[in-house]
Each structure stands twice: as structure tokens, then as C-alpha cells.
Amino acid sequence: MKWTKQGLIYLPNQFHDWNQSHAQCPVVYPVNDSVWRIYYATRNKNGQSQISYIEVEANKPKNIIYEHDTYLFDFGKIGTFDDSGLMPSSIVKQKDTVYLYYIGWTLKKTVPYHNSVGIAISKDNGKSFERLYEGSILPPIHTEPYFTGTSHVLIEDNVWKMWYLSCTKWEIINDKPEPFYHIKYAESLDGIHWKREGVVAIDFKDQTEGGIVSASVLKENNIYKMWYGYRSAKDYRTTTENTYRIGYAESNEGKSWKRLDEDVGIELSEQGWDSQMISYPNVIQSQGQKYMFYNGNGFGKSGFGYATL
């Protein structure tokens, strides 16, 4: 496998208070044969994330044809799971409804933040969304007491399948609480009520690893293929050797996976926007070509770009 980097697509222009920095977690929705809509998380002047989108020419995503001038929907009510930030994670269409799975942020005292998965729906093919519930569809439960985050959803034979970030613990490292999370698997019959049995899809490879994030799954020739981000447990924000990289895994049934990170075929650039970090992959297939949309330096502070396989 060898990805060819095609360069940066988008970085916010700072025209609005709500998009002062970052274009994080790109999620691509093919509107039709001509247009792809790319949802992303941007940050306001207070560092809080909002969701917006651009539209690009299908199969030529550097050609931006529309930039949305506002965010999709506001933060949740004070005290709810998404009162401090919103980020897109996965998008699927079922009949005439588009479902957006997103990450909600709220702040805590003993640890810096808490994430959880929310859902919003669109009846106009993804142009606008309404939050379906004020609460999370993947809240903490007795067997998963910490947070949930990035998710990827596929619908197969009327079964909704989700690969989601699951926090396993917080640990004090260099006098600061740091989260550890890997990727679990869940199923649903309606996309809302999820059966969570603790199935670990992608686990830590050793004790030095601290985070696995943003599963992106395709099924090809009866093989499930997943791309994701992974990082070290320590000094992953500033030490280039420990920052996020993109990994790859395969599975026969979507539950147990074999990590093949050495075969992923995409690494840091020698210089530029993705020379210090690469993560949050979103892989789609169009006209026999695979496209990977991903973030570079600073968790999306340098924007998002793409590569082709």
C-alpha cells in the first residue's frame, strides 16, 4: 500500500468568530456525482469547537466550490454532554435521512474534559442538521465508566455497526491527567440504541501507546479495512516522535482485527503542514480510487488535506 499525498485542501480564513483556528476531523459526504461535502471542526476565539463544512468538486477535492458561512448547530444546554464543543465523526444516509454522529465536549474539574457521542439528523441531504437528543447516545455505563469519542458507522444488512473511541483510564503523567483510549465495536438495529459488549477492535500494541482514534472503515472483497490514528502515551503534543501517526488494520468479520501499521503507506512529510503529525483519517472510495482525508500538525491547526492510493 502506498498513498500519494496531494496536499492541503482547507484552512479556516478567520472571517468569523467561530472559525478562528483548526479544521479538524474531516468527514466526507458524497452529495452526488459532482459534489463532495466535507464536514470539519473549527475553533472559536475561546478554543471551543463548532461544526461547519465546505463543498468540493468530486474526485478533485482541492477545487473548493462552496464554503459554509455559519456552523451547523449550537452548543448543548448548560450541563449537557455537548455544552462546550462539537466535532463531526461519521455520517450515513438511510432512506431520506442523513445521520451525523458527532463528539460532544464538556468540561470537568478533576480531569480537563469529558467527551461523548451525540447524533443529529438532516432532512435536506446534509445541508442543515438538528440535534436528535439533548443527551448522548453513547454515555458512560457501568462497564465503560469513562468517555466515548470518535466513531465510524456502517449499515450492513439492516445492522448498524460502529467502531468507537473508548477511554480506558486517566493517568497522571508529568503532573497532568492524560487520557488513554482505544477502539471498541458496537451494533444497533436503528442507529440510536447501541449494544455495547466491550468488544475491543483495536487495542494498544504495548504500554508505550496511549491513544487510538478516528476509525475509518471500508469493506472490500469481504475484508474489513480500517485506518485510524495512534499516539504515544507521553509527550504526544510536542515531541514529534510521539505524536499521532496513521495506522491500518484488517478483519474478516469487523470485530477482531490484525494491526498492520507497517503497511499503511503514509508517513510524516519532511516539511510543511503535515511534517509533525498526521491523524484523523477519513477514507472513501470513488470511481475505483481511494481518497484519504486527514489532519496534519497541531491536531488540525494546520488544516486538512488528502492523499490517494
pLDDT at 15 over 90: no
Beta strands in 174-257 (DSSP E): 176-188, 194-202, 209-220, 223-232, 245-251
18: three-class secondary structure by DSSP: helix
Maximal C-alpha separation, the chain: 51
88 residue type, one letter: P
Residue 127 confidence (pLDDT): 97
For the chain, the average pLDDT equals: 97
- C-alpha to C-alpha distances, 104 to 77, 134, 230, nearest whole angstrom: 12, 11, 21
Give the whole-angstrom CA distance, residue 26 versus residue 233: 24
Element (H, E) at 119: strand 113-122
Q: Torsion angle, CA of 6/7/13/17, rounded to 10 degrees?
A: 90
- State the average pLDDT over residues 124-129: 97
Residue 16 confidence (pLDDT): 92
pLDDT at 161 over 90: yes
- State the average pLDDT over residues 18-39: 97
pLDDT digits (tens, 9 = 90+) for 56-92: 999 999 999 999 999 999 999 999 999 999 999 999 9
Query: 153 falls in which pLDDT band (50, 70, 90)?
Result: very high
pLDDT digits (tens, 9 = 90+) for 165-193: 999 999 999 999 999 999 999 999 999 99
Half-sphere exposure of 75 (CA within 13 A, CB side): 17
- Check residue 265 and give left, alpha or beta (phi > 0: left; psi -120 to 50: alpha): left
- C-alpha to C-alpha distances, 186 to 121, 192, 197, nearest whole angstrom: 20, 11, 7
Asked whether 227 and 163 are in contact (CB, 8 A), the reply is: no
Long-range CB contacts (< 8 A, 24+ apart) of 268-271? 268/240, 269/5, 269/296
- Check residue 280 and give left, alpha or beta (phi > 0: left; psi -120 to 50: alpha): left
236: three-class secondary structure by DSSP: coil
pLDDT at 13 over 90: no
Residue 240 confidence (pLDDT): 96
Cell of 216: 475509518
pLDDT digits (tens, 9 = 90+) for 259-307: 999 999 999 999 999 999 999 999 999 999 999 999 999 999 999 999 9
Residue 77's nearest CA partner among 123, 6, 133, 144 is 133
pLDDT digits (tens, 9 = 90+) for 206-261: 999 999 999 999 999 999 999 999 999 999 998 999 999 999 999 999 999 999 99
- State the average pLDDT over residues 30-37: 97
Report how far Cα 139 is from the mean position of its chain's Cα atoms: 17
Asked whether 183 and 163 are in contact (CB, 8 A), the reply is: yes
Residue 167's nearest CA partner among 147, 185, 151 is 147
Residue 31 confidence (pLDDT): 96
Overall pTM > 0.75: yes
What domains appear along the chain, each with residue ranges and CATH number?
Answer: 12-100 (no CATH), 138-299 (2.115.10.20)
Query: 158 falls in which pLDDT band (50, 70, 90)?
Result: very high
Give the whole-angstrom CA distance, residue 110 versus residue 164: 24
pLDDT digits (tens, 9 = 90+) for 199-208: 999 999 999 9
